[in-house]
Amino acid sequence: MKIALFGNPNTGKSSVFNLLTGLRQHIGNFAGITVEKKSGSFQIDNQQHQLIDFPGVYSIYPRSKDEEVVYKVVSNPKHPDFPDLAMIVVDSSNLERNLLLFTQIYDLKIPIVLVLNMWDLAQKRGVNIDIEQLQSYFPSISIVTTNARIGLGKDRLIQAIKNHQLIAASNLIVEDFKLCELENKKKQEEETRFRYQFLKKVIAEIEIVEKTKTDTLSRKIDKILIHPIFGYLIFSAVLFVIFQFIFSFASIPMDFIDAQTTNFSNFVSNQLPIGLLNDLICQGIIPGIGGVIIFVPQIALLFLFISILEESGYLSRVVFIMDKIMRPFGLNGKSVVPLISSVACAIPGVMATRTIADWKERLITILVAPLMSCSARIPVYTLLIALVIPKQTVLGIFNLQGIVLFGLYFLGLISALLIAIILNLLIKKKEKGFLLLELPSYKMPRWPNVGINVLEKVKIFVIDAGKIILSISIILWALATFGPSGKMENAEKYVRANPSFTQLPEEEQNQKVASARLESSYIGIFGKAIEPAIRPLGYDWKIGISLITSFAAREVFVGSLATIYAVQEDGDENLRLIDRLKAEKNNKNESIFTLASGVSLMIFYVFAMQCMATLAVVRRETNSWKWPLIQVAFMGFMAYFGALFAFNILS
Partner 1 sequence: MKSNSLAKQAFGVKVQIKNILDSSFSNKLIELGFITGQTIEVVFSAPFGDPIAIELNGSVLSLRLEEAATIEVENTNSL
Q: Find all residues with CB under 8 Å of 142, minimum gap 6, and list them.
A: 112, 113, 114, 160, 163, 164
Residue 357 CB, nearest distance to partner 1 (Å)? 9
Residue 313 CB, nearest distance to partner 1 (Å)? 10
Query: Closest by alpha carbon to 16, among 121, 164, 144?
Result: 144
Residue 445 CB, nearest distance to partner 1 (Å)? 19
Contact 331, 422 (CB under 8 A): no
Nearer to partner 1, 53 or 222 (CB): 222
Nearer to partner 1, 117 or 316 (CB): 316
Query: Closest by alpha carbon to 434, among 334, 341, 350?
Result: 334
Residue 34 CB, nearest distance to partner 1 (Å)? 23
Q: Cα–Cα distance between 261 and 270 in angstroms, integer?
A: 14
- Vertex 355: Cα angle to 354 and 358 (nearest 5): 90
Nearer to partner 1, 228 or 571 (CB): 228
Contact 84, 33 (CB under 8 A): no
Q: Cα–Cα distance between 527 and 58 in angstroms, integer?
A: 55
CA distances 571 to 180, 381, 505, 547, 558, Å, are: 63, 15, 21, 21, 11
Query: Closest by alpha carbon to 74, among 90, 91, 62?
Result: 62
Residue 623 CB, nearest distance to partner 1 (Å)? 23
Question: What are the E-state strand segments in 293-435?
Answer: 393-394, 398-399
Nearer to partner 1, 92 or 261 (CB): 92
Residue 179 CB, nearest distance to partner 1 (Å)? 14
CA distances 241 to 236, 244, 299, 374, 529, Å, are: 9, 5, 16, 17, 46
Q: Is 227 helix (H, G, I), strand (E, B) or coil?
A: coil
Contact 41, 24 (CB under 8 A): yes
Nearer to partner 1, 78 or 430 (CB): 430
Residue 441 CB, nearest distance to partner 1 (Å)? 8
DSSP 302-353: HHHHHHHHHHHTHHHHHHHHHHHHHGGGT--GGGHHHHHHHHH-HHHHHHGG
Residue 187 CB, nearest distance to partner 1 (Å)? 9
Nearer to partner 1, 431 or 506 (CB): 431
Residue 204 CB, nearest distance to partner 1 (Å)? 13
Q: Find all residues with CB under 8 Å of 95, minimum gap 6, and list them.
A: 127, 129, 203, 206, 207
Contact 627, 616 (CB under 8 A): no
Q: Find all residues with CB under 8 Å of 261, minimum gap 6, and list them.
A: 286, 287, 289, 290, 293, 294
Query: Closest by alpha carbon to 523, among 500, 504, 547?
Result: 547
Nearer to partner 1, 281 or 439 (CB): 439
Residue 436 CB, nearest distance to partner 1 (Å)? 6
Residue 10 CB, nearest distance to partner 1 (Å)? 9
Nearer to partner 1, 57 or 246 (CB): 57
Residue 66 CB, nearest distance to partner 1 (Å)? 14
Nearer to partner 1, 192 or 269 (CB): 192
Nearer to partner 1, 319 or 366 (CB): 319
Residues at the interface with partner 1 (CB under 8 A): 58-59, 61, 63, 91, 93-94, 96-97, 100, 125, 127, 185, 188-189, 192-193, 196, 213-215, 218-219, 222-223, 226-228, 231-232, 316, 319-321, 323-325, 333, 430-432, 434-440
Rounded to 10 deg, the angle between the 466-481 and 541-549 helix axes is 150
Nearer to partner 1, 333 or 527 (CB): 333
Nearer to partner 1, 96 or 570 (CB): 96
Centre a 10 Å sphere on the Cβ of residue 182 and count the other Cβ atoms it contains. Answer: 13
Rounded to 10 deg, the angle between the 522-529 and 466-481 helix axes is 90
Burial (Cβ within 10 Å: 0-12, 13-18, ≥19) of residue 547: buried
Query: Closest by alpha carbon to 346, among 379, 378, 371?
Result: 371
Q: Is 4 helix (H, G, I), strand (E, B) or coil?
A: strand
Residue 129 CB, nearest distance to partner 1 (Å)? 13
Nearer to partner 1, 102 or 522 (CB): 102
